[in-house]
Amino acid sequence: MEQPRSRQRRRPEGQRDRRGFSEAVQTRRVGNLSFLMPPPRPPASALASCLEGLQQDWRRDGHLAGLWREWPRIAGPQLAPHCRPLQLQGGLLTVGAAPGPWLQALQYNRHQLLGALRGAGYAVRDVRVQQHHPGAPVTPGGQNEAEVWAVHPSRCDVHGMADCPTCGRPAPAGEMARWGHCSFCRRADLS
């Protein structure tokens, strides 16, 4: 039997595919048939290097998510708890601050903040300051998320565990008290 041969056809230097990396096409010959084989996978990289690459992309592309993560370091420990970046569009950063002295402090320190942003690698051309009333998100019905979760039927640390009478799997007892069976069986009933 003939040994399988692989032949690689490489793209010209500098030419890349639509995903952004050059790819070698491999074929494998068995008898008179020729099979296309997928290119070899690149070696796995460490999670820390992936996250670092993502943060660099955020800085370069001007994403607000990267700025949120670094905001306490950029704005400083005194100012950061009282203001937050709201929008980053076209190099213009809109920062919201609590009304009163914190809004005024942010307006006075606008140029220092702009310098800190540029020093951190963000392509921000100007900072706009506006009043912002940060509030806790409220769920419909007037209860906040912590109050709803404190009495939720799926909490096994509050209600304990029991076996579902329908499927026999262990599930939070609060689900059995509320629906007569576990949430998985409940979902199956609703669909």
pLDDT tens, position by position, 31-42? 888 888 888 888
SS3 of residue 173 by DSSP: helix
Same domain, 94 and 162: no
| Residue 44 falls inside a structural domain | no
Q: Looking at this protein, which amino acid is placed at residue 19?
A: R
Question: Phi-psi bin for 58: left (phi > 0), alpha (psi -120 to 50), beta?
Answer: alpha
Same domain, 100 and 59: yes
What is the tens place of the pLDDT at every residue in 98-121?
888 888 888 988 899 999 988 888
Supply 117's token pair: 């942003």
The DSSP bridge pattern shows strands 92-97 and 126-131 to be parallel
Domain that holds residue 31: 5-37
Same domain, 125 and 72: yes
| Residue 49 falls inside a structural domain | no
The tally of domains found in the chain comes to 3
Q: What is the pLDDT of residue 147?
A: 79
As a whole number of angstroms, the distance between CA 49 and CA 69 comes to 17
| Residue 137 falls inside a structural domain | no
Strands of 3-125 (E only): list them.
5-9, 25-30, 33-37, 83-89, 92-97
SS3 of residue 27 by DSSP: strand
CATH number of the domain where residue 60 is located: 3.30.300.180
Phi, psi of 90 (to 5 degrees): 60, 30
Same domain, 115 and 76: yes
Same domain, 73 and 124: yes
**pTM of whole model > 0.75?**
no
Same domain, 65 and 10: no
Q: What is the pLDDT of residue 135?
A: 59
As a whole number of angstroms, the distance between CA 29 and CA 152 comes to 61
| Residue 45 falls inside a structural domain | no
Same domain, 127 and 174: no
Q: What is the pLDDT of residue 137?
A: 47
Q: What is the pLDDT of residue 33?
A: 87
- Show the low-confidence residues of the chain (pLDDT under 70): 1-25, 58-63, 134-143
